[in-house]
Structure 1
Amino acid sequence: MPTLIGSVQRALRLLEAAGAHSEGAPAKQLAREAGLPLPTAYHLLRTLTHEGYLRRESGVFLLGDAAGRLAGGGLQQKRRIMILDSLAHFREVVGAPVYFAVFRAGEIEVVGVSDTPEMPAVREWADFRATGHAHAIGQCLLAQLDEQTRRDYYARHPVEAITPYTVRDLRALEQRIAAMGRMQPVIERQEYVLGSVCAAIPITAGDTAATMAISLPLDQQDRLLYVVDRLRSEVGALLSSLSFSISI
């Protein structure tokens, strides 16, 4: 194991050295900057090139596509951590589970959820992506789409009742969407799961439909409007930390 860890450390030093030269650098220079014997550097450079982390052009080594993907993955992970930290902060502010979701590539995607054992999130008993008509998150996202995009979604995920309170059919859902005020919260009571009420707020994030949402147990529904208003008052601060997450 120590030998393997040492090899990884040496390889990373070579990648760091190569990354410092936008136009590439020869093996001898990279070995010197990484503090490695030349034979060791040659062996690792060949391996890194074979795996796509480096590429060799005209006698110099440059970062390859795999290194770019590695860096991008690290950036995405950092973004996701920032999102979850932000959601946790606002969960404490509003005193309820907080959700962040987007409509991407034709589907509803819940990017992050923050809850606690004392404030549990709604259990996903029916696929959130396929039941957008039945929950506040989905209704809020669908209301931000053009009619054709919505109909494409309905063609894949037909409107059907999943509780006694779910909107009954496509016509009724479209009538509800048409009546929604721009940038107004969407409220849903027991339409997705019995015993829960939810509210979602549309978020402006470039061309992407996005939403922040909260949920409460049915016996706390008298708090719903207060909680969602508290969340709306924080939207400006939320955007500064969450708008980048569309690229996740």
Structure 2
Amino acid sequence: MTQEHSPTLISSIQRALKVVDIVANATRPVPVKAIARLTELSLGTAYNIARTLVHEGYLAIEPDGLVLGAKFPGLLPIDDAGVFVARARQTLHSVTAELGATAYLSQFDDGEVQIIDIVDAVASPRVDLWVGIVDSAHATALGKQILAELSPEQRVDYLSRHPPDGLTPHTISDRRALLRQLEYTRGASVDRQEYAIGYTCVAVGVRAPGVIASLAISLPGDRDDSDLQEAIRQLQASAGRLSLQLGAAKYGQFTM
């Protein structure tokens, strides 16, 4: 008979995280004595844990108790790459679960369209964008949505550095036609097999201070308009929540 072993857990870390959870969910500063009572720790142990967390910046001391410190992840600025990735990953998982489609997040950074993260859906294989997106953003919904969010001058600059080419028979490769399409793009972008045959992608914008990004999914190329409109509606709801979170993080406001 094979004996199953439980994973090794470090109890001191569990206790510290429980203390942070209590402070994070409290509506007022929490005295250490209250933490000891709620966690059933000895008062000495509670003080030692709190002192360590304050020293590391995850908690801070106020006259009436403990509050979250500047290093608590929810209080870090959005410029912190780990915070951006964590918030983005949560949104991508949510989109994949709701729509059953692979979800993508891209961002305009230093003049280029970059893929930030992808979460795969089991029944919906991804479109391989990691390499081609830099030069072929014009053929993807997520790239078009970002380009549509830019100023006319930024769009012209981008396309002068990345002339559009025809990846498939459906790709818009005429520069003037593409600029006209981008000028009138509102709210969402769709590419119907422009980047890869057999795939339709839809994307919506994600806007926050200092952030121009797009949230997208890929679907089988034969999806009808009603399916795409419903997908866009759900994507816009998810993108709106992510935009609010990123905006709150930018200004140092913690949202649960």
TM-score range, shorter chain: 0.5 to 0.7
TM, length-normalised to structure 1: 0.65
Map 1:6-45; keep pairs closer than 5 Å.
Answer: 6-19=11-24, 21-45=26-50
Counterpart of 2:178 (choices 153, 162, 176) is 176
Q: Is the 8 A contact 2:104 2:118 kept in 1?
A: yes
Q: Is the 8 A contact 1:136 1:198 kept in 2?
A: no
Counterpart of 1:240 (choices 237, 241, 254) is 237
Q: Is the 8 A contact 1:137 1:199 kept in 2?
A: no
Letter aligned with residue 245 of structure 1? L
Letter aligned with residue 224 of structure 2? V
Shift of 1:234: 4.2
Aligned pair 1:123/2:128, yes or no?
Answer: yes
CA distance in 2, matches of 1:34, 1:113: 36
Letter aligned with residue 54 of structure 2? T
CA distance in 2, matches of 1:16, 1:213: 34
Map 1:29-178; keep pairs closer than 5 Å.
Answer: 29-58=34-63, 60-69=65-74, 78-88=90-100, 91=101, 99-105=103-109, 107-109=113-115, 112=118, 114-116=120-122, 119-124=124-129, 126-154=131-159, 158-159=162-163, 161=165, 163=167, 172-178=174-180
Q: Counterpart in 1 of 2:254? A: none
Could you say which structure has the larger radius of gyration? 1
- Taking a change above 3 Å as real, the CA distance of residues 34 and 158 of structure 1, as seen in their structure-2 partners, is same
Q: How many residues of Structure 1 are paired with residues of Structure 2 in the alignment?
A: 225
- Taking a change above 3 Å as real, the CA distance of residues 62 and 135 of structure 1, as seen in their structure-2 partners, is closer
The Cα offsets for residues 75-101 of structure 1, whole Å up to 9 and x where unpaired, read as 66543421221231xx4xxxxxx5454
TM, length-normalised to structure 2: 0.63
SS of residue in 2 equivalent to 1:122? coil
SS of residue in 2 equivalent to 1:66? coil
The answer to which structure has the higher helix fraction is 1
Shift of 1:48: 0.9
Letter aligned with residue 218 of structure 2? I
CA distance in 2, matches of 1:14, 1:179: 53
Q: Which runs of 5+ in 1 are unaligned?
A: 92-97
Q: RMSD of aligned C-alpha atoms?
A: 4.2
Q: Which runs of 5+ in 2 are unaligned?
A: 1-5, 247-256
- Taking a change above 3 Å as real, the CA distance of residues 182 and 153 of structure 1, as seen in their structure-2 partners, is closer
Letter aligned with residue 177 of structure 1? L
CA distance in 1, matches of 2:21, 2:122: 40
Letter aligned with residue 178 of structure 1? R
